[in-house]
């Protein structure tokens, strides 16, 4: 390491030229494809990704099933536009409000544009709004009439109230499209992909801004929340990181009073971030919520070692007044600790590469790379930079501190020296009490850890006052829920049918023989749907080629028999199966997290009621499968026949329940999953059914489960890797174990605190364990390495401790203050994950510093006879 530093100091101008060239090259490779994408297609431009699906790999079974089901049932991700008018007794059903809603709906349906040969934007045909849904009414016994609920904007209050009355009669619309008190109305906006949600939301907002009414408009939904976060994430990256660095700069100036000198750590941090983020973009990786935080994680680590160098240089330079000599002495003492702190930090983050979450893998790999880049720049560029400073600029550097050191009187000591002196004495004199207190603290923390609840919700990434959060609260209070989860039911086993003897006798013998020959099996055997479709196709083929009327009639009779048998595969026309789904709907409604569910039985019951003069007692499922079939055929005579296929496949062998949750919290979705599992186990179904979930709300649960498990495994693995490295560094098992104490205490306290305050264990919190691994061990390495070195110059640990709490102690305290306080601007960020990171970075640094300066010396004091045994034995001999 010293050779590298010496080379850098001897060839400083060459070093800076190489670094400058590399930085500008990386910036160019990122900027050119981003600014001129058509002329540099071979390079990767900046890509933003906030899609929660990408938290899972593309070949993840859950994700594959999710996309298959969306395609099978014709479903799209949706935005929800809510209109509320709480101050008017008529709610939203006034002429002015409904006119605006009608106008808005028409505009939304036409929000499409072309891009790369594809049509993007709103799927107009599937928009759910008063003017796009059917009102189903009876037109006599056995006949229903389908008409648009609002085929034109009303011109009178009477018309508005008629619309309100009609809407209240349709169960599908109640609490989905219309709130129970009629004070709110929702428009469901399906979009071609989640990536266009922000643009669609902006277009909707532009249209809303043209209205002059007193009603309120809200836009929410997981897609728009995630896309909005991506937009604000970029702004936050450009604002919070520079603010944090500015405060760090001011704090370093407060300690070192030399602007020229403290620029070095800032340059190291800036270059480390540029090279790391540049490498991420150049390699074709997308900037996800996790990778957007890479600068926030790299900057404190990049500044950390540089502050150690400046602190030691600040303390030593006034005594020698020789810049090169002082830098070499400082680097000689710090090279080994800085190398190992960087390696342990990199190991902690690199362990994230083994989690099953792709964005977390990318985050871990590139933060680890950034840490090593920062270390390389620190041990080369910082010494070279200091060596280039004019002697005159360092004349007053550390002078006042040196004078205080020479005085050696308590009255002239700085506040930091007074605190450190007291801390050193306290940790020595009260060692037993400190250790007992530490164990008590760990015990209390363990209780807090047991209270941690694993949960996440993309909408909660915004502050409570953010329009996304406000809209989410308002609309979930007014309606059944804006969070969508989908549950599919299908037979567990392949259904087979068998023709009875009487059914076989109804076939013409010649035709029966031909059918059996074509199928290569007799019709009294068990046949699956494929066999039956093969028979049906063959019959139609023979009918088309038949010229004899009598024979054609016989083939037609066979076709009817086969068609009737095929209906037995259509299990979701069976009344007993539909009643089972009804019971399932009632059960999930009692879970406390479901506002409403829409499913095939609701369609059947609504149409059946209108077929019987709209009588409430007719709101039920018919008694036979043919009757159910007739009801569904009637429904398909409406304006939106495609809606039926959102709930069931055309073969009626798989159905889909659309469940509306009033919360997007993963724990609520998990409780619903558990409730359905319990129901499917305890309730006897008419036939063996399997159930599977899909939808964004469900996907969020799956990736978080994988993340938590992956984080625990990666942290456990990296903990032991770091322990092994510490044992190697100190050539001692006990010193290695000792170095892990600040980390253990910091982790225990932080996660215990999280449990006690009820803070959700979400993605940013999970990743902080890796950050604590690096930062907590950093101080321990510096403290223990310098303690061993200083102890070798003294007879007793008590004498050595006094010196340990001077220069090394000051370096740690300065680091804690500069980095810890430096990241408090993140607490004022509008995005909650950044607030979380800011708070816990500061907390980790504070705890690690306290643990290193209080707990470690106390433990060394109690175990000094064993830890320094070899030295004692040598003295005796």
Per-residue pLDDT at 203 exceeds 70: yes
CA distance 391 to 323: 8
Cβ count near 704 (within 10 Å): 24
Cα dist. 80→111, 374, 581, 810 in Å?
15, 45, 26, 56
> Per residue, what are the HEC states of 756-770?
HHCCCECHHHHHHHH
Candidates 302, 259, 276, 338; CA nearest to 5 is 338
Per-residue pLDDT at 861 exceeds 90: yes
Give me the phi and psi of 657, to 5 degrees please. Answer: -105, 125
State the pLDDT confidence band at 774, using cuts at 50, 70 and 90: low
pLDDT tens digits for range 661-680: 999 999 999 999 999 999 99
pLDDT at site 644: 95
CA distance 534 to 586: 40
DSSP sequence for 801-827: HHHHTTHHHHHHHHHHHHHHHHTGGGG
pLDDT at site 547: 66
Please identify which residue in the block is written with the tokens 């499917």: 680
pLDDT tens digits for range 15-25: 999 999 999 99
β-sheet bridge partners, residue 483? 661
State the pLDDT confidence band at 629, using cuts at 50, 70 and 90: very high
State the pLDDT confidence band at 454, using cuts at 50, 70 and 90: confident
Count H helices and E strands in the chain, helices first.
33, 11
pLDDT tens digits for range 786-819: 898 888 888 889 989 999 998 888 888 888 888 8
Between 204 and 141, residue with greater pLDDT:
204
pLDDT at site 61: 92
> Per residue, what are the HEC states of 514-563?
HHHHHHCCCCCCCECHHHHHHHHHHHHHHHHHCCCHHHHHHHHHHHHHHH
Spatial contact of 107 and 624, defined as CB atoms under 8 Å apart: no
Per-residue pLDDT at 129 exceeds 90: yes
In the chain, % of residues over pLDDT 70: 96
Question: What separation, in Å, do the N-terminal and C-terminal C-alpha atoms of the chain show?
Answer: 35
Between 580 and 747, residue with greater pLDDT:
580
Per-residue pLDDT at 246 exceeds 60: yes
**Alpha carbon 325 to chain centroid, angstroms:** 50
State the pLDDT confidence band at 871, using cuts at 50, 70 and 90: very low
pLDDT at site 475: 94
pLDDT at site 645: 95
Candidates 47, 474, 461; CA nearest to 280 is 47
State the pLDDT confidence band at 658, using cuts at 50, 70 and 90: very high
pLDDT tens digits for range 482-505: 999 999 999 988 888 888 888 888
CA distance 515 to 536: 10
**Mean pLDDT computed over 362-380:** 93
**Mean pLDDT computed over 315-324:** 80
pLDDT at site 872: 44
**Eight-class DSSP state of 394:** G
Spatial contact of 788 and 730, defined as CB atoms under 8 Å apart: yes
CA distance 595 to 483: 10
pTM: 0.83
| Alpha helices per DSSP H over 257-398 | 259-282, 294-320, 323-350, 358-388
pLDDT at site 99: 95
Residues in the chain: 877
pLDDT tens digits for range 36-72: 877 777 788 888 877 777 888 888 999 999 999 999 9
Domains of the chain: 1-65+257-307+321-329+339-412 (1.20.1640), 76-227 (no CATH), 467-493+571-694 (no CATH), 501-569 (no CATH)
CA distance 220 to 390: 59
**Mean pLDDT computed over 205-223:** 92
pLDDT tens digits for range 56-65: 888 899 999 9
**Mean pLDDT computed over 217-233:** 86
State the pLDDT confidence band at 870, using cuts at 50, 70 and 90: low
pLDDT tens digits for range 635-645: 998 889 999 99
**Mean pLDDT computed over 308-319:** 82
pLDDT tens digits for range 693-711: 999 999 989 988 888 888 8
State the pLDDT confidence band at 455, using cuts at 50, 70 and 90: confident
State the pLDDT confidence band at 397, using cuts at 50, 70 and 90: low
Spatial contact of 323 and 386, defined as CB atoms under 8 Å apart: yes
Residue 186's SS3 state is strand
Per-residue pLDDT at 610 exceeds 90: no
CA distance 812 to 397: 19
Q: Which residues fall within 8 angstroms of residue 372, CB to CB, at 6 or more apart?
A: 342, 346
CA distance 249 to 825: 13
Crossing angle of the two packed helices 549-566 and 529-545, in degrees rounded to 10? 160
Give me the phi and psi of 286, to 5 degrees please. Answer: -90, 155
| Alpha helices per DSSP H over 169-293 | 197-208, 222-256, 259-282
Per-residue pLDDT at 391 exceeds 90: no
pLDDT at site 404: 46
Q: Which residues fall within 8 angstroms of residue 775, CB to CB, at 6 or more apart?
A: 300, 301, 304, 345, 841, 844, 845, 848
pLDDT at site 211: 93
What are 250's two structure tokens? 């001011």
State the pLDDT confidence band at 412, using cuts at 50, 70 and 90: low
What are 787's two structure tokens? 């303690």
pLDDT at site 38: 73
User: What is the pLDDT of the chain when averaged over all its residues?
Assistant: 87
State the pLDDT confidence band at 395, using cuts at 50, 70 and 90: low
Spatial contact of 326 and 681, defined as CB atoms under 8 Å apart: no
Per-residue pLDDT at 874 exceeds 50: no
């Amino acid at each position: 390491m010293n050779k590298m530093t010496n080379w850098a100091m001897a060839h400083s101008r060459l070093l800076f030229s190489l670094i400058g060239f590399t930085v500008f090259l990386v910036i160019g490779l990122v900027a050119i494809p981003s600014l001129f994408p058509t002329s540099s297609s071979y390079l990767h431009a900046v890509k933003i990704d906030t899609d929660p699906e990408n938290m899972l790999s593309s070949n993840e079974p859950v994700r594959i099933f999710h996309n298959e089901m969306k395609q099978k049932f014709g479903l799209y991700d949706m935005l929800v536009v809510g209109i509320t008018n709480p101050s008017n007794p008529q709610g939203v059903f006034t002429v002015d409000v409904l006119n605006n809603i009608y106008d808005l709906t028409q505009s939304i349906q036409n929000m499409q544009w072309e891009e790369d040969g594809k049509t993007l934007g709103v799927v107009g045909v599937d928009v759910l709004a008063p003017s796009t849904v059917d009102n189903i009414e009876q037109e006599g016994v056995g006949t229903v009439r389908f008409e648009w609920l609002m085929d034109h904007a009303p011109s009178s209050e009477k018309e508005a109230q008629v619309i309100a009355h009609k809407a209240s009669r349709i169960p599908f619309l109640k609490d989905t499209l219309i709130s129970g008190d009629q004070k709110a109305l929702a428009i469901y906006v399906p979009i071609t992909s989640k990536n266009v949600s922000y643009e669609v939301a902006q277009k909707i907002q532009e249209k809303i801004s043209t209205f002059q009414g007193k009603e309120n408009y809200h836009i929410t939904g997981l897609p728009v929340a995630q896309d909005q976060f991506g937009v604000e994430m970029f702004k936050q990256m450009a604002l919070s990181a520079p603010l944090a660095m500015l405060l760090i700069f001011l704090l370093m100036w407060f300690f070192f009073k030399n602007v020229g000198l403290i620029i070095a750590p800032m340059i190291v941090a800036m270059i480390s971030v540029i090279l790391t983020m540049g490498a991420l973009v150049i390699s074709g990786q997308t900037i996800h919520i996790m990778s957007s935080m890479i600068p926030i994680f790299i900057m404190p680590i990049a500044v950390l070692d540089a502050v150690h160098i400046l602190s030691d240089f600040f303390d030593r330079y006034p005594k020698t007044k020789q810049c090169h000599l002082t830098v070499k002495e400082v680097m000689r003492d710090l090279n080994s600790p800085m190398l190992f702190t960087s390696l342990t930090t990199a190991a902690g983050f690199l362990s994230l590469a083994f989690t099953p979450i792709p964005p977390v893998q990318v985050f871990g790999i590139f933060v680890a790379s950034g840490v090593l880049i920062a270390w390389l720049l620190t041990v080369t560029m910082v010494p070279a930079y200091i060596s280039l400073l004019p002697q005159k600029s360092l004349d007053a550097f550390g002078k006042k501190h040196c004078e205080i050191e020479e005085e050696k009187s308590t009255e002239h000591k700085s506040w930091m020296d007074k605190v450190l002196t007291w801390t050193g004495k306290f940790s020595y004199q009260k060692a037993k009490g400190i250790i007992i207190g530490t164990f008590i603290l760990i015990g209390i923390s363990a209780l807090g850890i047991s209270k941690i609840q694993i949960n996440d919700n993309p909408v909660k990434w915004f502050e409570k006052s953010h329009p996304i959060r406000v809209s989410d609260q308002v609309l979930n209070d007014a309606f059944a829920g804006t969070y969508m989860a989908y549950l599919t039911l299908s037979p567990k086993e392949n259904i087979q049918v068998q023709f009875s003897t009487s059914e076989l006798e109804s076939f013409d013998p010649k035709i029966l023989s031909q059918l059996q020959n074509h199928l290569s099996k007799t019709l009294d055997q068990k046949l699956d749907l494929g066999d039956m479709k093969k028979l049906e196709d063959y019959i139609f083929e023979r009918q088309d080629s038949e010229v004899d009327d009598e024979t054609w009639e016989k083939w037609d009779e066979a076709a009817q028999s086969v068609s009737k048998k095929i209906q037995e595969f259509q299990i979701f026309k069976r009344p007993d199966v539909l009643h089972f789904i009804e019971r399932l709907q009632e059960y999930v409604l009692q879970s406390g997290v479901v506002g409403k569910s829409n499913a095939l039985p609701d369609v059947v019951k609504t149409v059946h009621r209108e077929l019987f003069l709209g009588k409430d007692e007719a709101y039920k499922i018919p008694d036979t499968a043919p009757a159910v079939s007739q009801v569904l055929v009637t429904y398909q005579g409406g304006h939106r026949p495609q809606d039926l296929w959102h709930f069931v496949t055309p073969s009626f062998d798989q159905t889909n329940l659309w469940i509306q949750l009033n919360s997007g919290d993963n724990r609520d979705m998990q409780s619903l999953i558990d409730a359905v599992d319990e129901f499917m186990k305890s309730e006897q179904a008419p036939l063996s059914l399997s159930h599977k979930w899909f939808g964004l709300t469900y996907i969020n649960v799956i990736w978080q489960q994988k993340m938590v498990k992956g984080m625990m495994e990666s942290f456990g693995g990296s903990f032991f890797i770091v322990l092994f490295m510490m044992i190697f560094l100190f050539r001692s098992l006990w010193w290695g174990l000792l170095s892990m104490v600040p980390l253990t205490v910091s982790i225990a306290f932080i996660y215990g605190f999280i449990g006690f305050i009820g803070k959700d264990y979400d993605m940013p919190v999970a990743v902080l364990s890796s950050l604590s691994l690096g930062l907590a061990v950093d101080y321990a390495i510096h403290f223990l390495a310098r303690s061993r070195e200083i102890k070798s110059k003294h007879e007793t640990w008590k004498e050595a401790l006094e010196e340990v709490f001077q220069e090394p102690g000051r370096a740690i305290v300065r680091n804690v203050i500069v980095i810890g306080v430096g990241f408090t601007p993140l607490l004022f960020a509008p995005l909650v994950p950044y607030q979380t990171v800011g708070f816990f970075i500061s907390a980790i640094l504070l705890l690690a510093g306290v643990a290193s300066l209080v707990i470690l010396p106390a433990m060394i004091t109690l175990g000094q006879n064993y830890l320094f045994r070899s030295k004692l034995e040598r003295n005796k001999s």
